[in-house]
Amino acid sequence: MADDGRRGDEEDRGPGAAHQVFVVMECLLEKLKVLNYEEEVLAKHNMKNLSRHYFVSSPYLASNPGEQFYMFTIMAAWLINVAGRPFTEPQEYDEPNATVSNILAELRAFGVKVDFPPSKLKTGSGEYVCFVLDRLAEEALKRRGFTFRRPNYPSENTEEESVIEDDAELTLSKVEEEMIEEPDDEEENVMDLEALKLRTTHIEAEPSSKPDEILESTVDAAEWNLEVERVLPQLKVTIRTDNKDWRIHVDQMHQHRDGIKSSLKEAKSYLDKLQEDIGKTLEKVSSREKYINNQLEHLIQEYRSAQAKLSEISEELEKVKQEMEEKGSSMSDGAPVVKIKQSLTKLKQEVVQMDVRIGVVEHTLLQAKLKEKSNMTRDMHATNIPEPAAGTFT
């Protein structure tokens, strides 16, 4: 709604409102030059001079939003400091929204009414950027005690020139009126101005001879009058009209204005009627819309509750799908089976090794038992052998 109101205000301002930003930008540049921004800002940041329409947003001008926004923040911070309020100079990588909000807060502190959203300044160009910088420049000039004065124009005496021009225009207008009143069938007998000039030059080039005595006319007056009437059409001079003449353009403007007025009278009644019909139709549509909203209020509530339930069901369905996918992926995954086979193979190898060890141990125990048994048998035989008789060998 705010954009519609602002658009209506722009239409009320007239067709030249779109070009007003160019004028504001040019005035802003002059104010910046008075504040010596070349040395205090541009030289400090090693920047180029601003063009006449640097902050103007137009499809016919080259634009660089990032560079323009950075230049806007630098200029705004410098102007706020010059105006007497401390303001930290923003850096290139600072948050744009915070920087714009701080600049608008300082602008409101100067008593300037801000009725546009901060997002209009993030592009770095446009009507609102020029407006903010212009108002800050005004405050900076007030701080430094500078004011623009009205120019004093020297008085000039142009009365005589205007009188001469008016007489010349009056004479030329009379000649044009006489030319318009002449009939068209006499154009063939009219001598061209260029031909008249050539004839006059040819006559002046011939040698003149002064008569020795006073000449007396021997021609009859009646014949002279007849000759004058015969030659008179050839003595008329025509002045060719130029399409670039401002009088022709003025006449055309008057004609177009009369045509527009007559067309406006005819179309105004139709336009008024059309406006009235459109107004009635809009009222009908608005009333019908309210009636439909009242009738469908309970259905809308049911639809909202059903939509909420649908969202919950959709969330649960997504969870179930995710669990099924996880289980399916785990079931189709062959990694556990491979691990089990590897474990079985390893167990078999270990069982074989244990069998070998058990056999070795059993063999060792068997040898030990046999050895022990043989030793016991030998000891038994040794204790049971009788002693030989003493007299046998004697």
Give the pair of three-digit tokens for residue 64.
């660089």
Question: In the prediction, which pLDDT does 2 show?
Answer: 38
Instruction: Specify the pTM.
Output: 0.38
Q: Are 234 and 187 in contact (CB under 8 A)?
A: no
Q: Are 41 and 75 in contact (CB under 8 A)?
A: yes
For residues 194-232, one letter each, b for 16 or more C-beta atoms within 10 angstroms of the residue's C-beta and e for the rest, the string is eeeeeeeeeeeeeeeeeeeeeeeeeeeeeeeeeeeeeee
Distance between CA atoms of 129 and 121, rounded to whole angstroms?
Answer: 6
Which residues are registered as beta bridge partners of 222?
Answer: none
Q: Which residue shows structure tokens 């125990």? A: 365
The amino acid at residue 383 is T
Question: In the prediction, which pLDDT does 163 show?
Answer: 45
Distance between CA atoms of 61 and 21, rounded to whole angstroms?
Answer: 13
Give the pair of three-digit tokens for residue 239.
């002045």
Distance between CA atoms of 180 and 174, rounded to whole angstroms?
Answer: 10
Chain mean position to CA 374: 113
Q: Are 114 and 73 in contact (CB under 8 A)?
A: no
Distant-in-sequence, close-in-space partners of 103: CB < 8 Å, separation ≥ 6: 73, 76, 77, 80, 121, 132
Distance between CA atoms of 346 and 360, rounded to whole angstroms?
Answer: 21
Query: Consecutive 10-residue runs of the chain (394 residues): their mean pLDDT?
Result: 43 64 87 86 83 80 83 88 86 83 88 85 86 89 80 60 46 50 45 52 50 66 85 71 72 90 87 91 91 87 91 92 84 78 92 93 92 88 64 46
* Count of C-beta atoms within a 10 Å radius of residue 190: 15
Give the pair of three-digit tokens for residue 73.
């923040």
- Could you give the 3-state DSSP secondary structure of residue 103? helix
